[in-house]
């Protein structure tokens, strides 16, 4: 923590700040010889208390130097985290790119089985699909609930895919933990701290989506909530941020990928579907994310998107998805990442946990 004083701050004001720093149990380190006083603060306690000093006479600015996150930090763990799944050789964060695909919502057994087969053939090793849907309107389709989870688990058995699905509250999280291989926390819940802590007490990997206006630091702190409860298998996911630009639904912030990799050892995926909002723009955003260094993709695919109960306009057709995976493989090779050819023998029965 550093205190920068105003150019015309008096010596008396500077001494008052130093005295206050000592009262708070810290040590002040005045830095002289500059055009303005700067005071460094050190100590063993939480330095954020020093933030209060910002309102003292003569203080221009309080500057945080120490970062508030610990477990997520690359300072703490320099090597990349590789997330593994019981009963499968799939990983997230290793050399292999992780491809997760499926519909926005679980609508029926038939729908899920058709799309699971298609995305598995197309190159996905993870099946996505929501049984609990956070919808902006209380009058919109809210998901099939536990019945949807049962369908997803059945598709896992049938097609050898890992299941990733969203939990939106305490009850659904308990169910998702039972049925799924990976628990998704959606963008709107990125700072639902009660949910994060509950996810931290499970033993399933967590896919944590960035909130629509979350800073990188806030995203890392949300991951810290999960890790501080003992669950170290957290995967971040960029899904677009809210800006003034309306040519896509959200603005995919590919810059967060190298920025996150510098600060944290956790893997990061890209969700091009929610950023794009329209099918035409999904593939370019997906390829951009991989090129920027993402560890994989989570993408919406539907066999009959014009009849989807949600997000149809941004769902890829299965053949578009398969073609995209081919391009992702090509780009991955340029960057030293691997992606197995689809149709390679998949391990079946990938960790049925119920």
Residues 302-331 within binding reach of a second copy (CB under 8 A):
305-308, 312-313, 327, 330-331
Residue 46 is a binding residue for a second copy (CB under 8 A): yes
Of 60-68, 86-94, 116-124, 146-154, which segment contacts a second copy by CB under 8 A? 60-68
Q: Which three-class secondary structure state does DSSP give residue 221? A: helix
Residue 13 is a binding residue for a second copy (CB under 8 A): no
* Binding residue (CB under 8 A) for a second copy from 14, 237, 285, 297: 285
Of 67-75, 120-128, 146-154, 201-209, which segment contacts a second copy by CB under 8 A? 67-75
* Binding residue (CB under 8 A) for a second copy from 13, 178, 228, 346: 228
* Binding residue (CB under 8 A) for a second copy from 90, 118, 199, 256: 256
Tell me how far, at minimum, the Cβ of 123 lies from a second copy, in Å: 15
Question: Is the Cβ of residue 85 or residue 321 nearer to a second copy in the bound state?
Answer: 321
- Please answer whether residues 82 and 73 qualify as being in contact, where contact means their C-beta atoms are separated by less than 8 angstroms: no
Q: DSSP character for 105?
A: B
Scored b (16 or more CB within 10 A) or e, 119-153 reads bbebbbbbbbbbbbbeeeeeeeebbbeeebbbbbb
- Please answer whether residues 133 and 141 qualify as being in contact, where contact means their C-beta atoms are separated by less than 8 angstroms: yes
- CA 153 to CA 161: how far, in whole Å? 9
Taking alpha carbons only, the member of 242, 175, 181 closest to residue 207 is 181
Tell me how far, at minimum, the Cβ of 298 lies from a second copy, in Å: 17
The size of the interface with a second copy (CB under 8 A), counted in residues, is 108
- CA 98 to CA 296: how far, in whole Å? 4
Residue 61 is a binding residue for a second copy (CB under 8 A): yes
Residue 87 is a binding residue for a second copy (CB under 8 A): no
Question: Is the Cβ of residue 88 or residue 189 nearer to a second copy in the bound state?
Answer: 189
* Binding residue (CB under 8 A) for a second copy from 288, 323, 340, 346: 288
Of 84-92, 93-101, 103-111, 220-228, which segment contacts a second copy by CB under 8 A? 220-228
Tell me how far, at minimum, the Cβ of 86 lies from a second copy, in Å: 27
Taking alpha carbons only, the member of 132, 124, 138 closest to residue 106 is 132
- CA 9 to CA 111: how far, in whole Å? 69
Tell me how far, at minimum, the Cβ of 111 lies from a second copy, in Å: 15
Question: Is the Cβ of residue 70 or residue 147 nearer to a second copy in the bound state?
Answer: 70
- CA 163 to CA 87: how far, in whole Å? 12
Tokens of 110: 């038939």
DSSP per-residue string spanning 4-17: EEPTT--HHHHHHH
* Binding residue (CB under 8 A) for a second copy from 284, 340, 346, 351: 284
Residue 341 is a binding residue for a second copy (CB under 8 A): no
Q: Is 313 exposed, middle or buried (0-12, 13-18, 19+ CB in 10 A)?
A: middle
Question: Is the Cβ of residue 251 or residue 346 nearer to a second copy in the bound state?
Answer: 251
Question: Is the Cβ of residue 69 or residue 179 nearer to a second copy in the bound state?
Answer: 69
- Please answer whether residues 272 and 278 qualify as being in contact, where contact means their C-beta atoms are separated by less than 8 angstroms: no
- CA 101 to CA 297: how far, in whole Å? 8
Residue 19 is a binding residue for a second copy (CB under 8 A): no
The footprint of a second copy on residues 169-198 (CB under 8 A) is 169-170, 188-189, 191-195, 197
Tokens of 45: 């306690």
Beta-ladder partners of 59: 5
The footprint of a second copy on residues 90-149 (CB under 8 A) is 134-140
């Amino acid at each position: 923590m550093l205190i920068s004083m105003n150019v015309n701050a008096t010596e008396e004001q500077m001494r008052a700040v130093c005295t206050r720093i000592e009262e708070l149990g810290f040590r002040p380190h005045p830095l002289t010889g500059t055009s303005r006083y700067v005071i460094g603060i050190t100590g063993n306690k939480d330095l954020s208390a020093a933030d209060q000093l910002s309102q003292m006479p003569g203080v221009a600015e309080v500057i945080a130097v120490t970062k508030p996150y610990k477990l997520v930090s690359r300072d703490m763990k320099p090597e990349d985290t590789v997330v593994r799944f019981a009963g499968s050789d799939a990983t997230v964060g290793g050399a292999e790119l992780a491809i997760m695909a499926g519909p926005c919502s679980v609508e029926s057994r038939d729908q899920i089985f058709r799309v699971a087969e298609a995305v598995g053939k197309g190159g996905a090793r993870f099946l996505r699909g929501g049984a609990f849907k956070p919808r902006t309107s209380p009058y919109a389709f809210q998901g099939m609930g536990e019945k949807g989870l049962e369908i997803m688990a059945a598709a896992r058995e049938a097609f050898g895919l890992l299941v990733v699905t969203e939990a939106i509250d305490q009850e659904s999280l308990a169910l998702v933990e039972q049925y799924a291989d990976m628990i998704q926390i959606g963008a709107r819940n990125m700072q639902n701290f009660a949910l994060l802590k509950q996810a931290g007490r499970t033993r399933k990997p967590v896919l944590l989506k960035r909130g629509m206006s979350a800073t990188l630091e806030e995203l890392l702190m949300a991951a810290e909530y999960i890790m501080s409860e003992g669950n170290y298998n957290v995967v971040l996911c960029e899904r677009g941020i809210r800006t003034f630009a309306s040519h896509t639904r959200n603005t995919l912030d590919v810059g967060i990928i190298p920025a996150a990799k510098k600060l944290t050892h956790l893997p990061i995926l890209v969700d091009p579907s929610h950023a794009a909002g329209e099918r035409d723009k999904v593939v370019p955003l997906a390829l951009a994310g991989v090129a920027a260094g993402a560890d994989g993709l989570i993408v919406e695919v539907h066999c009959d998107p014009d009849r989807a109960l949600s997000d149809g306009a941004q769902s890829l057709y299965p053949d578009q998805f398969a073609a995209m995976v081919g391009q992702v493989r090509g780009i991955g090779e340029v960057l030293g990442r691997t992606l197995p050819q689809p149709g390679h023998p998949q391990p079946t029965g990938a960790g049925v946990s119920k």
